[in-house]
Structure 1
Amino acid sequence: MSIFRRRGSSQQQQEQDQPEVQSESKVNELKAGLGPLSGRSLLYCTDACLRRYLEARNWNVEKAKKMLEETLAWRSTYKPEEIRWHEVAAEGETGKLFRANFRDRFGRTVLILKPGLQNTKSMDNQIRHLVYLMENAMLNLPEGQEEMAWLIDFTGWSFTTNVPIRTAKDTINILQDHYPQRLAVAFLYTPPRIFEAFWKIVKFFIDPKTSQKVKFVYPKNKESVELMRSYFDVDNLPTEFGGKATMKYDHEDFSRLMAQDDVKAAKFWGFDQKVASATTGYAAGAAVAPEPV
């Protein structure tokens, strides 16, 4: 009996190892297809990064290669890692988007979005601000963690504070095309009914895998509240999301935190001197970006 048990155990272990071996093989194939990389492209294209692009394209190496090459081209022109907090700080003055001071139950970085606090008109700057915070969230992911969680509070939201469909589409394209497999879950807390019409249009542009990660949460819906609490400790969760914690966004404190992160990001990407000279003139509202994997 013990012989059969050992054989069964061995076979089971082989079956468990097989996907990992295949995954490693695909990563190596993609790496070879990309050819020699240097500079920031080399820093960006870690094995974990290649896996994310492969997962986003159902492990099709050619499609993942095309997607990744498009990201590298975008990063070389948009330069998201070079965005500094003082360049986008005005966008964050109301606390419409910031990194939370707590993580979810899985150790993920949490971004809090409050679209009702929209305070600017420039769509380009709004997207730049979001990209900066995405990079910052990645910098602050714990080792071994690839994804982040979003909490979206709709207090004060209306069509007057809503972004145009075209901007929403551009934003979604950037997030899907250049930050694949970065979103674990997005909780839309108490969205107004009029948002549903907007969502039906926006959902058309979202990959089905991604749209499944978007959860509508209503305080009177026990099932959705329980789902949210399976991701968050209520003692950490702010009251506006049904938790017990009191949270007040302090722009100056957050700016100081971002300024420290900008130094970390510059060190990672290898342009410390540039940031060192730029930070000398920072006002109290200046801040910093994080280190992507």
Structure 2
Amino acid sequence: MDSDSSISNSGCNSPSSIEESAQRLKKKVIELYQGPWNQLNARLVGPQNLRRYLRARSYDIDKAAVMLHESLVWREDVRPESISAREIEVHLKRGANFFLGYDKRKRPIMISKVHLDIDEHLELKTKVVLYQIERCIRMMRKTKVSNLTWLVDLKHFPAHLMSPSHTQLAISIVKLLSSHYPERLGTMIAINAPAIFNVFWKVISRFVDRNTAQKIIILKSKDISRLRSFIDDEVIETEYGGLNDYVYDHEENMKTLLEEEKVWMKKVTRYRNEAVSVDQLLETRNPVKMRHKKKQ
């Protein structure tokens, strides 16, 4: 490995080495990215994101630069932060995906109930996942954490999800998360896993990197009580042995989402319209801090 593009194992954990590498990574990304810089995309070259991408590529600066550049281009094309709840409402109505609360480490929990996910529209499924992740990232700021917990209920795992198209979708989502949301997954807990899921998992797991695989916990129905190791009883729904008697109410959920969205979309528009110079980006201390004004 080129000594100019990586940090030696002996020094990669020292704050000064990480800071130096983050600055070198930032410079490389600025050289690679041809698009205009603004308050929105400049967030990707902020200190925390730079460190995430460095860790994702084992502190190889050249590889991290390519990865981060690809994320910048992808986000400009897809604009996941601008996905509206209205775009995925047909899916949300089923109550298959929603925000559950926070785990014991104060990480936001997004829950997916596979047996309610009967939509065959594969592009919509991807958009739902992106929407949930982007929302959780915004929620992370409230509890000052940097990753999320994903709870997946595999009860009545439908056979159609093992079709080639759905298998490919699952693989593409895994790759998408690895490529554009490095270090965002804290823990994924799959519960009520039936025997048939093992076949599906054998196919998917080949595309999951080692670090991500270590964050995935698969629990059979008899082991569901282990959820308490990660999530408080007050947050765990009663159907999983907890004390939370929450019943999904689509109208109430949409009202909450749209109220949040109204505030967030205003910020997105403002951030996207505020240009940032290369000189600002190259400052050692991150000059681009998103201004989160308190709601009046």
- Return the TM-score normalized by structure 1: 0.81
Tell me the residue number matched to 1:211.
213
CA distance in 1, matches of 2:263, 2:44: 15
Tell me the residue number matched to 2:287.
none
Q: Which of 187, 190, 193 is residue 192 of structure 2 equivalent to?
A: 190
Deviations 1:157-216 (A, max 9, x none): 221255621111111111111111000001111211000110010001111110111101
CA distance in 1, matches of 2:16, 2:77: 35
**1:154/1:190 contact within 8 Å kept:** yes
Q: Runs of 5+ in structure 2 lacking a partner?
A: 1-9, 274-289
Deviations 1:46-102 (A, max 9, x none): 2111111111111111111110101111111111112111111111111111111x2
Q: Which amino acid aligns with 2:254?
A: S
1:253 aligns with 2:248: no
CA distance in 2, matches of 1:217, 1:273: 42
1:21 aligns with 2:20: no
Q: CA RMSD in A?
A: 2.6
Q: Runs of 5+ in structure 1 lacking a partner?
A: 1-14, 275-290
Q: Cα gap change, 1:111/1:83 in structure 2, threshold over 3 Å: closer, same or farther?
A: same
CA distance in 2, matches of 1:177, 1:117: 28
Q: Cα gap change, 1:21/1:144 in structure 2, threshold over 3 Å: closer, same or farther?
A: farther
CA distance in 2, matches of 1:162, 1:117: 16
Tell me the residue number matched to 1:87.
87
Tell me the residue number matched to 1:66.
66
For residue 136 of structure 1, report the CA deviation from its aligned partner: 0.7
CA distance in 2, matches of 1:45, 1:256: 33
1:214-253 superposed matches below 5 A = 214-221=216-223, 225-226=225-226, 228-253=227-252
Tell me the residue number matched to 1:51.
51
Q: Cα gap change, 1:17/1:188 in structure 2, threshold over 3 Å: closer, same or farther?
A: closer
For residue 249 of structure 1, report the CA deviation from its aligned partner: 1.1
SS of 2:206's partner is helix
Identity rate of aligned residues, in percent?
25
SS of 1:59's partner is coil
Tell me the residue number matched to 2:160.
160
**1:189/1:218 contact within 8 Å kept:** yes
**1:189/1:241 contact within 8 Å kept:** no
**1:53/1:64 contact within 8 Å kept:** yes
Aligned length: 258
- Return the TM-score normalized by structure 2: 0.80
**2:12/2:18 contact within 8 Å kept:** no
Q: Which amino acid aligns with 1:200?
A: K
CA distance in 1, matches of 2:12, 2:210: 28
Tell me the residue number matched to 1:151.
151
**1:235/1:244 contact within 8 Å kept:** yes
CA distance in 2, matches of 1:273, 1:246: 40
Q: Which amino acid aligns with 1:267?
A: K
**1:115/1:157 contact within 8 Å kept:** yes
Q: Which of 155, 176, 179 is residue 178 of structure 2 equivalent to?
A: 176
Tell me the residue number matched to 1:138.
137
CA distance in 2, matches of 1:169, 1:17: 31
CA distance in 1, matches of 2:143, 2:74: 26
For residue 22 of structure 1, report the CA deviation from its aligned partner: 1.7
Q: Which amino acid aligns with 2:258?
A: A
Tell me the residue number matched to 1:200.
202
**2:12/2:59 contact within 8 Å kept:** no
